[in-house]
A and B are shown apart, each in its own frame.
Chain A
Amino acid sequence: MSENVNDHGAADITTVSADAPQMQPLAKNPKGVEKAISALLLIGIAAFVGFGVCYWQNAAYWTYGALLGLGLLAMGAAFIAWGKYLLPRGPFVEERHVLASTETERSAFAAALMERGAGEIKRRKVLGTLLGGSLGVFSIVALFPLVRSLGPLPGDKLAVTDWKKGQRLVDINGNPVNITDMAVGGVLTVYPHGLENTDDGQAIDQTILIRVQNEPFTTMKGRESWTPSGYVAYSKLCTHLGCPVGLYEQQLELLVCPCHQSMFNVRNGALPQFGPAPRPLPQLPLAVDSEGFLIAAGGYNQPVGPGYWERP
């Protein structure tokens, strides 16, 4: 192995003649290249001045970026052309110095760590243990304010919505929905009464109401009374990743999630028919109050939205 020269600075002092072949510009016609670079730089200056004028005059939007870009490209090309064609063409060489230290130096470093450091800790075992313990406890409790204060514990909040028995369905403008309102094939996004302009109402309680036909029908066993006058309501939160399932195809009677195209059949309880969603959309049981407005006959019977660890 050659001598370990780790000292970067002690390179040789060399002198090269100015007409050595490596010192010549790459261009066969340096004067011509000079002219071209001058032209480029003048274009650059003009473009920058133009940018200034356009800014001052509040010109059309495209002029700002176009002139700025033109000037920058011209300057960039000028720099590159100068560096490539007018400066010494090279190539030049430098030696790689061996990165690794000598065996002696490595041993010295390791010895410093072990003898002075680890050795001392070994000799005073009790202190070492206690030190380790205190650092450990500190790093754990330091996480308390950094992590735990970020937000409340979820508790069972993920499993419930604000829908309660007897609550009217309202649209985004707060209007309740009468059973004579929607035609067959109609669709509407609804929220619990009073919550249509709240974050929770829009993010969690959002429900899609569809009039599938004029008469009630059964989506699943046990849900015979859930669809008065052919209206059916499902949670609008996709069970895949929580996107609002606002896309309804009335002839196919299919709810399609716009994000990743999970498809839910509205006649059989929004069972997923295609795509990545694993669970059906929870169905909201409906009823009609004395004035003919749709109300919830209860809350959702399962958590809405995407899956999570605690979901039964």
Chain B
Amino acid sequence: MVTMRSTLKKAAAGFSLSIVGLAALSFLATPLESGAATKIADDGLGATAQICPSGTTQVAGKVGVPANLVNENGDTAKKNAGTAYSDVQCYNAAGEMVAYGNADILYELPSSSLIPLGQQLYMQNCASCHGVHADGVLPNGTTGNYPDLTGLGPATINFWVTTGRMPAANPRDVQAMRRQPRLTVFQSNAIAAWVNSLQPATPYIPSPNLKGANLTVGQDLFALNCAACHTITGGGDALAYSTFAPSLHVATPTQIVDAIRTGPGNMPRFTGNLTDSQVRDITAYVAESIQKPTNIGGVGMGGLGPVAEGFIGLALGVGGLMLVSFWVGDRSE
């Protein structure tokens, strides 16, 4: 009896402490985001607002794609689809078009002052496979093993180099994997400037403006165009014959627009079928909801779906309860 009482006293103390603790815990409530954050901002940007970088002249992009800037794979006649035929074009003092775009995405060309550095870096890192003229022709004359880089636009170089896929870890791989980049963004821009100087083309390197993006449009377009390869949660998966769609969880907004507009590797090229506004919305959706998924229900398990859920349910659920039954029941006599 005596021991019972003291146990009860201790228990009562612990009990009241835990109530206090739990009440305190409850104030750690993480309220869901209020509705205020994503008002679709209407900055009223038209062609008159200053979109071009400072030091350049902004011109309304009424003309079609300049003839000397056609991408080798063919370009679209649609406006605001990643080509120079956009809301605005930006020219420097020497009359070169150094940027184009609109309020949603600005495409910029790396400065021509980087060209000598770019040539040097290219020869050190890329020429052994892509040839000294960046055309895929090796010194011994063989061609066709590695792609011709000319006429593809600076965004192509930007994607492959800043994601670390190039320089290739194993040139004989069917598909290069993303890894720690070997060259900085500055160096990548230099190489892009030099390669582009051989045969100028678009798309330039994009800077998407994610403020005011419409995530609903982004999710709808992502589900229609991207989920078929990258999965609806952006985790990526294996495709045919040792190719694969990579995970989207670490791509930067620039790299995402790069990929959409240039169609690297086996990825389709989305040009005239998606406007810059739509590409911007998709990019915002990836950067917000794919890379920071709303897992209000607990551990997201990587968005792998029912396979992972089945494992957990069987191992922890049924397995755990089987452990309980080991305790409750007897073993064989």
**A interface, CB within 8 angstroms of B:** 31, 35, 38-39, 42, 45-46, 49-50, 53-54, 56-63, 67, 76, 80, 84, 171-172, 177-178, 180-189, 210-211, 214, 244, 246-252, 254, 256, 258, 261, 263, 274
Contacts and interface: CB of A to CB of B under 8 A. Distances in A.
Contact of B73 (A39, A62, A180, A185): A185
7 contacts: A45-B15, A184-B269, A186-B268, A211-B74, A246-B225, A254-B240, A258-B229
B76 A183 contact: yes
Contacts of A56: 26
B297 A61 contact: yes
Contact of A42 (B15, B22, B73, B267): B15
A250 B175 CA distance: 13
A248 B268 contact: yes
B22 A50 contact: yes
Contact of B269 (A57, A61, A186): A186
B272 A182 contact: yes
The 10 A-B pairs at the shortest CB distance, nearest first, are namely A246-B228, A181-B272, A50-B22, A59-B26, A180-B77, A249-B266, A57-B26, A187-B268, A185-B269, A247-B228
A84 B227 CA distance: 53
A48 to B, nearest CB: 11
Interface stretch (B27-35, B192-200, B247-255): B27-35
B240 A249 contact: yes
Nearest to B237: A258
Interface of B: 3-4, 7-8, 11, 14-15, 18-19, 22-23, 25-31, 71, 73-78, 220, 224-225, 227-229, 239-241, 243, 263, 265-273, 296-298, 324, 327-328
A87 to B, nearest CB: 13
Given A54-B22, A182-B271, A251 B266 contact: yes
B239 A256 contact: yes
Given A46-B14, A46-B22, A252-B241, 18 more contacts: A61-B30, A84-B328, A172-B224, A181-B76, A183-B71, A183-B75, A183-B76, A184-B74, A185-B73, A185-B268, A186-B268, A187-B270, A246-B229, A249-B239, A249-B240, A252-B240, A256-B239, A274-B240
Nearest to A178: B77
Nearest to A57: B26
